[in-house]
Amino acid sequence: MTLIRELVLIGSGRVASQMANAFIHAGISIRAVYSRTPAHAAVLAKSLAVPAVTSLAEIPTDADAYIFAVSDSALPEMLAKMPAVNGVLMHTSGTVGLDVFPDRFEKTAVFYPLQTFSKEKPADFEQIPLLIESKKPAVFSAIKALAQKLSNKVLEANSEQRKQIHLSAVFVSNFPNLLFYIAQQLLQEKGLDFNVLKPLIAETAHKLDYLSPAQAQTGPALRRDEAVLQAHQEMLGNHPEWEKIYTLLSEEIKKIKS
Amino acid sequence: MTLIRELVLIGSGRVASQMANAFIHAGISIRAVYSRTPAHAAVLAKSLAVPAVTSLAEIPTDADAYIFAVSDSALPEMLAKMPAVNGVLMHTSGTVGLDVFPDRFEKTAVFYPLQTFSKEKPADFEQIPLLIESKKPAVFSAIKALAQKLSNKVLEANSEQRKQIHLSAVFVSNFPNLLFYIAQQLLQEKGLDFNVLKPLIAETAHKLDYLSPAQAQTGPALRRDEAVLQAHQEMLGNHPEWEKIYTLLSEEIKKIKS
């Protein structure tokens, strides 16, 4: 197995565009971009100054690798339509196993970036953990070398480990962001500015640099301050779902042993 | 009303010790420290190189101000035992109103730092919003000048506004920290290291510098990726409370309009 020097990108969403930029920055060529939505592929390909193709049948079949940055549900259908190629096939999903690849492909791998991506801001891949997996040692070496060109945090993780990390990632990223949204709505209802909470949000994340989550826990539920808990529940009276969230999370905080 | 140049500190917990350090750093003298637990007052007073007193009857009655950094539930009882003084009485609670102060005190105020404090690490008060309130303009001017010596983010907030901000603070700090704890436990069960999630946690907070929470939302619930949602719920089968949290928060994410 030699090095992966160039690849075909399949997908045009947030992950696809952020990874494409990171590959180009690391000196990896993008041979072509394909997306099921040709207009999206065209826009991304133009921004990267690389060719777009409008069907999987048109993609170059002699590339070193093919990276699928598409939704989990789209993956099986797209792989079924994939022409015969000799390069490495990789997907970027946290939850899908290596067994998603049809048996006719011999060189298969997972290349999962553990991060929440925005279209608006280039991601700093150096700090993004890349979780990689392949059953073939030669393929593993090739994708490891590729990953190390992008990131200082390359980790081998099998499918079971990756799924658990992905589940945990939902708890530390998607769910906290929902709670930020609820807080913003609560402040907006009283004409207050969400910016006042930003130093607190930053410190809550930053505390983990020197404390475990159990040590870092604070708040009325941990102090068992029932008067405050009850007052807060009453303030949420107009939002029964948020009150349920408040109660459920507070009960869980009471179980933490610090 | 003149300036507050020195004060008596009542309390010895995290908030009390962090505020004491910030006051001293800003050139405000601590005349004495009192706590209901004399041993705690002695330790804090020693670390600050200021006197400790063992009863409220012993505190200097000619100080410019008295700051109560104690639990909400302890406040009424301690105020009832407070000797007659001419200085400003302040509490530091997010939830308690100005009406907690007995009528015999004329100069009363709230001085609420919106932050999560650790004993282990000195807080950078310059970046901490200080929410202040007083009904008397002269008292308000005095505590505003005091607050501005500590922080660049001094805001006036009445009791209703402060309570809403405090409730929102629980959503953006205490609850996300609980979710970090759950994630850490999930990883630990599979022998995986929580550190792998730290770049994601940092970026989730950092995204709010350029996106609203609604714009920043990502994840399987937002994509309505039911296969992933169901797989995650099954993975949480041994933790019915965490599965409930997962389901409730995922349903709420589906309602976000970005």
The ipTM is 0.92
Say yes or no for a CB contact (<8 Å) between B176 and A173.
Answer: no
Nearest residue in chain A measured CA to CA from B164: A187
Task: Read off the pTM.
Answer: 0.92
A18-38 mean pLDDT: 96
DSSP-derived pairing of the beta strands B130-133 and B108-113: antiparallel
Two structure tokens written together for B59: 């505190």
Tell me: the pLDDT tens digits for B112-141? 999 988 777 788 899 999 999 999 999 999
Residues of B in contact with A189 (CB under 8 A): 164
Distance from CA of A139 to the nearest CA of B (A): 24
Q: What percent of chain A has pLDDT over 90?
A: 92
Sequence-distant (≥ 6) Cβ neighbours of residue A157 within 8 angstroms: A112, A131, A132, A133, A165
- As a whole number, mean pLDDT of residues B202-219 equals 94
**Chain B residues closer than 8 Å to A71 by CB:** 223, 225
CA distance, residue B9 to nearest chain A CA (Å): 21
Identify the pLDDT of residue A47.
Answer: 94
| Whole-number pLDDT of residue A1 | 56
Mean pLDDT of all residues in B240-247: 98
What average pLDDT score do residues A184-189 get? 97
Residue B1: what pLDDT?
A: 55
Which residue carries 């804090």 as its tokens? B44
Task: Considering only the beta carbons, identify the residue of B189, B214, B227 that sits closest to A72.
Answer: B227
What number of C-beta contacts closer than 8 Å exist between A and B?
Answer: 300
Mean pLDDT of chain B: 95
Q: Are the beta carbons of B256 and A174 separated by less than 8 Å?
A: no
What pLDDT score was predicted for residue A19?
95
pLDDT tier for residue B258 given thresholds of 50, 70 and 90? low
| Cross-chain residue pair A199–B117, CB shorter than 8 Å | no
pLDDT band for position A2 (50/70/90)?
A: confident
Q: For residue A122, what pLDDT is reported?
A: 82
Mean per-residue pLDDT for B33-53?
96
How many angstroms separate the CA atoms of A209 and A218, rounded?
A: 16
Helices (H), chain A: 14-25, 38-48, 75-80, 137-150, 159-169, 175-189, 198-206, 213-216, 226-235, 240-254
pLDDT at B177: 98
Instruction: Give yes or no for a contact between A95 and A166, defined as CB atoms under 8 angstroms apart.
Output: yes
